[in-house]
Chains A and B, each alone.
Chain A
Amino acid sequence: GAVVSQHPSWVICKSGTSVKIECRSLDFQATTMFWYRQFPKQSLMLMATSNEGSKATYEQGVEKDKFLINHASLTLSTLTVTSAHPEDSSFYICSARELTSGRAVTGELFFGEGSRLTVL
């Protein structure tokens, strides 16, 4: 149980275009999802917290107009990188908390497979 699926796994786009990444909780409802970015050989940096039915909360230094997050249902959050540039090339990974099992107490996050974005 507690499977998170992310799509696409990898995407290549031209500079200036927008890219949408989907994050789905397959067998549980996720009121909160977290989006991370990971540059090569670096750690995961939290970008934003996505809350179902409300605006996302962005971490300091993350441009909310560039990284649009929508959490329209209890099983789907999307991250749209708008007007992508080569410096946005990175590994984006989402995660979610599952609130109905014993794992909810620990705060364990279940991660998607990640999406590797390359902007040419």
Chain B
Amino acid sequence: AQKITQTQPGMFVQEKEAVTLDCTYDTSDQSYGLFWYKQPSSGEMIFLIYQGSYDEQNATEGRYSLNFQKARKSANLVISASQLGDSAMYFCAMRDSSYKLIFGSGTRLLVRP
């Protein structure tokens, strides 16, 4: 069975600094996808970045990059130049072969001015 683990319930970062949110996963599938979503207090789920299991390059989307280490089964999110608006819950998720999305427990990020 697939499993996503986020070991950081909460993180602080100073504005304009970079922060790494950890995510490890477990799956027996050869083909899978990894996602990061942001959930502000309003509750909406905002897609940030995607990494396919066969992608050799780490994904990047603006200030977001995904540090994909397949052998270690980790998919950490790096946010560069943090902004106050980045304060939110962040969820790592994995798509399984049936295209279901399974979420980790989340990390609450607070950006300090």
The interface of chain A, by Cβ under 8 A from chain B, is 32, 34, 38, 42-46, 49, 91, 93, 95, 97, 106-111, 113-114, 116
**A42 touching B99 by the CB < 8 A rule?**
no
**A114 touching B44 by the CB < 8 A rule?**
yes
**A106 touching B52 by the CB < 8 A rule?**
yes
Residue count of chain B within 8 Å CB distance of chain A: 21
The interface of chain B, by Cβ under 8 A from chain A, is 33, 35, 37, 42-45, 47, 50, 52, 91, 95, 98-106
**A93 touching B50 by the CB < 8 A rule?**
no
In whole angstroms, how far apart are the Cα atoms of A109 and B103 in the complex?
Answer: 12
CB neighbours of B98 from chain A (8 A): 49
**A116 touching B95 by the CB < 8 A rule?**
no
In whole angstroms, how far apart are the Cα atoms of A29 and B42 in the complex?
Answer: 26
A59 to B: closest C-beta gap in Å: 9
**A49 touching B100 by the CB < 8 A rule?**
yes
Given contacts A43-B103, A49-B100, A108-B50, contact A93 B45 (CB under 8 A): yes
In whole angstroms, how far apart are the Cα atoms of A43 and B4 in the complex?
Answer: 11
In whole angstroms, how far apart are the Cα atoms of A78 and B95 in the complex?
Answer: 23
Q: Which 7 residue pairs of A and B lie closest in terms of their CB atoms, listed nearest first?
A: A111-B45, A107-B95, A114-B43, A44-B103, A107-B99, A43-B103, A43-B105
CB neighbours of A49 from chain B (8 A): 98, 100
Which of B50, B101, B102 gathers the greatest number of chain A CB atoms within 10 Å?
B101
In whole angstroms, how far apart are the Cα atoms of A46 and B94 in the complex?
Answer: 12
With both beta carbons as reference points, the residue of chain B lying nearest to A91 in the complex is identified as B43
**B101 touching A34 by the CB < 8 A rule?**
yes
List 6 additional contacts besides A44-B45, A46-B101; criterion CB under 8 Å.
A32-B99, A46-B100, A106-B52, A106-B95, A107-B101, A113-B44
**A46 touching B43 by the CB < 8 A rule?**
no
Given contacts A44-B103, A109-B101, contact A95 B50 (CB under 8 A): no
With both beta carbons as reference points, the residue of chain B lying nearest to A106 in the complex is identified as B50
A–B complex contacts, Cβ < 8 Å, 24 sampled: A42-B106, A43-B91, A43-B103, A43-B104, A43-B106, A44-B103, A45-B103, A46-B101, A49-B98, A49-B100, A91-B43, A93-B43, A93-B45, A95-B45, A97-B99, A106-B52, A106-B95, A107-B95, A108-B35, A108-B47, A111-B45, A113-B42, A114-B43, A114-B45
